[in-house]
Amino acid sequence: MTIDEIKRKLESVLSPKRFEHSLGVMDTAINLAEKYGGNVEKAALAGILHDCAREIKGQAVFELCKKYHINVDYITLAQPELLHGPVGAVIAAEEYGIEDEDVLKAIECHTTGRENMTLLDKIIFIADYIEPGRKFPGVEEVRELAYRDLNRSILLSLDNTIRYVMNKGAFIHPDTILARNFIIKESRS
């Protein structure tokens, strides 16, 4: 599929708001890839498609996980919205014809983060956080930082997210901690 075909299909399955968000993440990811010497085409594909499974709800999510052997643990059982990354990677491959493993991996980990994030993973992760449609306390600082120091912006966004999740009394996904530790380790070396 061309990127225009992908956009048309996405527009037909996502709410207008989510489609706008996806366009914002794509544009932001392209900007960041240009800034940091990443692959612009992969950034665009992962950016536009990152939420392709975000509006699959309820039992359908668990059925897709079963079908595609995606692990559901006590955390994702309690917070199934965390599954839209892994499920999105499968949908991107199956329904949008994406074969590039880098793109699929970036979609897979865009919500929780993970250890050993690639430049593309980082770009999609932070683009999702700072795209122009995002408006919440603290976003401006992360947005500004993303164009100066990618790792520091990710660390700040992870810390914000961990605080938010703690304040809700919800589970913290271990991958988010591994992502945070990895970014600190990388920044120190």
Q: Which residues bind a copy of itself (CB under 8 A)?
A: 74-75, 78, 155, 159, 162-163, 166, 169-172, 174, 177-178, 180-181, 184-185, 188
Task: Choose between 39 and 151: whose C-beta lies nearer to a copy of itself.
Answer: 151
Q: Least distance in Å: CB of 51 to a copy of itself?
A: 25
Residues 6+ apart with CB under 8 A from 57: none
Rounded distance, CA 92 to CA 164, Å? 29
Distances, alpha carbon 54 to alpha carbons 12, 61, 73, 116, in Å:
14, 10, 19, 24
The residue (of 14 and 165) whose beta carbon lies closer to a copy of itself is: 165
| Rounded Cα gap, residues 121 and 129, in angstroms | 13
Torsion of Cα atoms, 166 then 132 then 92 then 79, to 10°? 20
To the nearest whole angstrom, how small is the minimum distance from the Cβ of residue 119 to a copy of itself? 21
CB of 52 to a copy of itself, least distance (A): 28
**CB-nearer residue toward a copy of itself: 60 or 184:** 184
Which of residues 57 and 185 has its CB atom nearest to a copy of itself in the complex?
A: 185
For a copy of itself, the closer of residues 72 and 178 by Cβ is 178
- Give the residue among 95, 88, 6 at the shortest CA–CA distance from 45: 6
Provide, rounded to whole angstroms, the least separation between the CB of residue 86 and a copy of itself.
19
Q: Which of 121, 138, 129, 134 shows the shortest CA–CA distance to 175?
A: 121
- In angstroms, give the least distance from the CB of 137 to a copy of itself: 17
